[in-house]
Chain A
Amino acid sequence: MNETRVTLEVLRGGTLCSVQDLGRHGLRHLGVSQCGAMDPLALQQANLLLGNAPGAAGIELSLGPVALRFTQDARIALTGVDFGAHLQPMEGDGLPVLSGHPLQVPAGAVLSLTRPAIPGARGYLAVAGGVDVPLLLGSRSTDLKAGFGGHAGRALQAGDVLPVGLTPAASLIGRRGVRSFAPTHVLRALPGPDYERFTPAAHTGFWLQPWRINAQSNRMGLRLNGAPLALHSAADLLSAGVLPGDVQVPPDGLPIVLGVDCQTTGGYPRVASVIQADLWQLAHLSPLTSVYFQPVTHTVAQEALERQTRYLARLARAVEDETTQGL
């Protein structure tokens, strides 16, 4: 079969928009960061709507404006924060694009994304077949810090051409869609390995004060401003493995919640770890808004994650059922 493959031409790249899947795993002992979508829930929603594998690579939208031209008929889905998306076919009127609904895009059409409805929040664009950049060390994610993976190891730029994989057999142009999850600004957390090194006042301060999001936050970490947290005595810790979600406290006492691009090792004391089920929120927290940390048990953490897993499984089943009925 001689099939013309879809490609995505980047007309405008925006700022810090990159190809991401669910990240690199199992390589932290080599110093290789996880990377991947900051909001893996949103990326998986978009993929499932299109019949893609949940971990297919898509585009993480950080700051607009972005414009993409589709060389062939394609199907897309946008999730995460609304980006004021607009589709302009080659002929006729353009139309606004609703987030959370799969959409058929005619060949030659241009998708424009202006800016996130919430400053600093991220959106996700999936395309049926997935963005088919080469798999490097088990993932198609861009490692922006190390400069490899994704497309040319960097954020998208005008002139880039992204290949798209073969369209999955399951084809759905749904009337039904998904709602994007809104961040609660409450990050549930478990006490960290160095919790006891902090003073009682620091414990209270950590759990009870609103932490303001510092504008220096990025995919490596969410930097927080507030009343600094003190240690019983200065800690000179040996470097040890760290994970996304760990809350490090450097000597200035201001916590950093490590993000998906964080280094694999660190030496700062860790006061807590944000639970997996709440890490997606890091993709959506605007500078100058606040977050709270809420202590939870391991059981609560596991149940929250299992609820998300079940939600994604239900979504996959619903799309499959609708597709079958449609045939």
Chain B
Amino acid sequence: MNAVPRITRLGEDALLCFFTAPDDTVAPLPVQQGLWQLCRLLDAEREALQLREIVPGMGNLLLRWRHQPGSPCSFTSLQARVLALWRDCEATAPAQRVVTIPVRYGGEAGPDLEDVARHCGLSPGEVIALHSQADYAVYCLGFQPGFAYLGGLDARLFTPRRDTPRLAIAAGSVAIGGSQTGVYPLSTPGGWHVIGHTSLPLFNPTSASGTLLQPGDTVRFRPVQETP
């Protein structure tokens, strides 16, 4: 039996469910796994519940419904449905997609690899090994189309953000910022350390789904010599 989430309204046609305590600064993976399952269950009832958006965050969920002129407030009924579905969501890892991302580490592709290695007291090779040996969970997407908030970075690789953000980080950059790692689908200014690059597109607006990654996916980075 799952703990009861805190549910608040957001604007007139949305609600937020918080599955962590109000002042938690991390979302435990089991909570997030239950959340992915809840998203799948809600998606299956998308039409019946008149849902326009199902947006998982870090240990939380935003739902936006379709405004029905003349109909009574949907908040109460949707809240009840979320609570009922959540009760049966398993905090276990169901079979997910595994997406392998080829990464060219260091050199021009990863200008900050040496800095990260120095900060962590490791060799560049050890940084590459630690970064590419882990399984990362796509907690949720945001910030840019296709940008994944990944959980699972080895604590030995935690590196505070750069003092001076770069004006442009190239699309496909693989970077570390604080306790997080990620891949930038689009060019952006940013303060993360760029340790590598992938040529695999993370966002393609002409494809059906648009993004390579989806919440709940598992990501693995595979070192390659040249960008394939």
A240 lies within 8 A of chain B by Cβ: yes
Chain A residue numbers with a CB within 8 Å of B16 are 193, 240-241
A30-B145, A148-B205, A238-B60 are known contacts. Are A265 and B11 too (CB-CB below 8 A)?
Answer: no
Q: Which residue of A30, A32, A274, A298 has the most chain B CB atoms within 10 A of its CB atom?
A: A30
Chain B binding surface, main DSSP class: loop
CA distance A148 to B53 in the complex (A): 21
* B214 contacts A by Cβ under 8 Å: yes
**Stretch in contact with the other chain, from B19-27, B105-113, B124-132, B155-163:** B19-27
B206 lies within 8 A of chain A by Cβ? yes
Q: Are A264 and B205 neighbours in the complex by a CB distance under 8 Å? A: no
Asked whether A273 is an interface residue with its Cβ less than 8 Å from the other chain, the reply is yes
B228 contacts partner chain A, Cβ-Cβ < 8 Å: no
Report the contact-size class of chain A (Cβ under 8 Å from the partner). 35 or more
**Of the candidates B10, B12, B13, B210, which one forms a contact with A30 in the assembled complex, judged by CB atoms under 8 Å apart?**
B210
Contacting residue for A239 out of B14, B140, B210, B211, CB 8 A: B140
Residue in B11, B67, B186 with the greatest tally of chain A CB atoms within 10 Å: B11
Q: Decide if A275 is an interface residue (CB 8 Å cutoff).
A: yes
CB-based contact A246/B10 at 8 Å: yes
The residue in chain B whose Cβ has the minimal distance to the Cβ of A279 is B11
Q: Is B215 an interface residue (CB 8 A)?
A: yes
A309 to B68, CA, bound (A): 11
Chain A window 218-259, contacts with chain B (Cβ cutoff 8 Å), 1 for yes, 0 for no: 000000000000000000101111110110000000000000
In the complex the two chains form, what is the Cα distance from A270 to B25 in whole Å?
Answer: 17
Cβ-defined contact, A239 with B11, below 8 A: no
Q: Does A102 have its Cβ within 8 Å of any Cβ on chain B?
A: no
> Which chain B residues numbered 41 to 81 have a C-beta less than 8 Å away from chain A?
52-62, 64, 67, 69-70, 73
Q: Is the CB of A32 within 8 A of B24?
A: no
Cβ A190 vs Cβ B70 within 8 A = no
Q: Is B221 in contact with chain A by the CB < 8 A criterion?
A: no
Task: Check B10–A273 contact: CB distance below 8 A.
Answer: yes
Known contacts: A265-B140, A306-B69. The answer to whether A245 contacts B11 by CB under 8 A is yes
- Stretch among A20-28, A73-81, A199-207, A318-326 lining the B interface: A20-28
Checking B13, B60, B141, B211 against A240 with a beta-carbon cut-off of 8 angstroms, the contacting residue is B60
| Neighbour of B8 across the interface among A136, A143, A193, A305, CB < 8 A | A193
Which chain B residues lie closer than 8 Å to A143 at the CB level?
A: 145
Chain A residues, CB < 8 A from B94: none
Contacting residue for B12 out of A149, A239, A263, A301, CB 8 A: A301
Residue numbers in B under 8 Å from A236 (CB-CB) = 23, 25
- Is B86 in the interface zone, CB < 8 Å from A? no
A101 to B26, CA, bound (A): 55
Residues of B within 8 A of A246 (CB): 10-11
A31 contacts the other chain (CB 8 A): yes
Count chain A CB atoms within 10 A of each CB in B20, B140, B143 and give the residue with the most. Answer: B140
Contact indicator A264/B203 (Cβ below 8 Å)? no
Task: Contact check, B52 vs A25: say whether CB atoms are below 8 A apart.
Answer: yes
Once A240-B62, A276-B11 are accepted as A-B contacts, the answer to whether A29 and B140 lie under 8 Å apart by CB is yes
Q: Are the CB atoms of B67 and A305 closer together than 8 Å?
A: yes
Residue B142 lies at the interface, judged by CB distance under 8 Å to chain A = yes
Within 8 A of A (CB), among B188-227: 203, 205-206, 209-211, 214-215
User: How many Å lie between the Cα of A265 and that of B10 in the bound state?
Assistant: 14
Q: Is the CB of A276 within 8 A of B12?
A: yes
Asked if A146 lies at the interface with its beta carbon under 8 angstroms from chain B, I say: yes
Known contacts A25-B52, A29-B215, A243-B62; is-contact A273 B11 (Cβ 8 Å): yes
Say yes or no: A265-B205 contact (C-beta < 8 A), given A31-B145, A236-B25, A276-B11.
Answer: no
Contact B10 A238 (CB under 8 A): no
User: In the complex, which of the residues B10, B18, B147 contacts A192, with contact meaning CB atoms closer than 8 Å?
Assistant: B10
**A241-B53 in contact given A236-B25, A309-B69 (Cβ < 8 Å):** yes
14 inter-chain pairs at a CB distance below 8 angstroms, sorted by A residue, are A25-B53, A28-B62, A29-B39, A30-B141, A31-B141, A31-B143, A149-B205, A193-B8, A238-B26, A298-B9, A298-B12, A301-B12, A302-B67, A309-B69
Identify the A interface with B (CB < 8 A): 25-33, 136-137, 143, 146-149, 190, 192-193, 236, 238-243, 245-246, 263-265, 270, 273-276, 298, 301-302, 305-306, 309
